[in-house]
């Protein structure tokens, strides 16, 4: 599948979630990030209020950039942590919808 087709597929999946969002409020139940940016692995289960805090270089920006990459169409191989073959970012919503993006040097796959 070409880059344009991958982008269109990502956009369709994201648009379907936007439509579901109009039916009610969705909350993030769980975030999992593996080998993305500077993060080896992290799992976050945010509550009603989630604050990212920490010292410089602790990974706050890596978490935000990972979430942006997950919900954005396209491919960014620079997101793969140095020395790793792939990155994986997933988000589970409280209504059961799960977004998962696997990034390899050649492509990104959103499921």
* pLDDT value at residue 49: 84
Instruction: List pLDDT tens digits, range 65-88.
Output: 999 999 999 899 999 999 999 999
Instruction: Report whether 99 contacts 110 (CB < 8 A).
Output: yes
The number of residues in the chain equals 111
pTM, two decimals, is 0.77
pLDDT over 90, % of the chain: 66
Does the CA dihedral 4-87-34-102 come out positive or negative? positive
Full pLDDT tens readout for the chain, 111 residues: 444 455 556 555 555 554 445 566 789 999 999 999 999 999 999 988 889 899 999 999 999 999 999 999 989 999 999 999 999 999 999 999 999 999 999 999 999
């Amino acid at each position: 599948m070409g880059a344009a087709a991958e982008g269109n597929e990502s956009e369709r999946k994201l648009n379907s979630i936007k439509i579901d969002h109009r039916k009610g409020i969705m909350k993030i139940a769980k975030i999992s990030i593996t080998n993305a940016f500077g993060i080896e692995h992290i799992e976050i289960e945010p509550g009603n209020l989630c604050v990212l805090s920490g010292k410089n270089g602790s990974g706050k920006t890596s978490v935000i950039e990972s979430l942006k990459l997950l919900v954005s169409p396209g491919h960014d191989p620079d997101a793969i942590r140095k020395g790793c073959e792939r990155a994986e970012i997933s988000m589970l919503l409280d209504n059961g919808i799960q977004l998962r993006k696997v990034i390899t040097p050649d492509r990104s796959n959103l499921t």
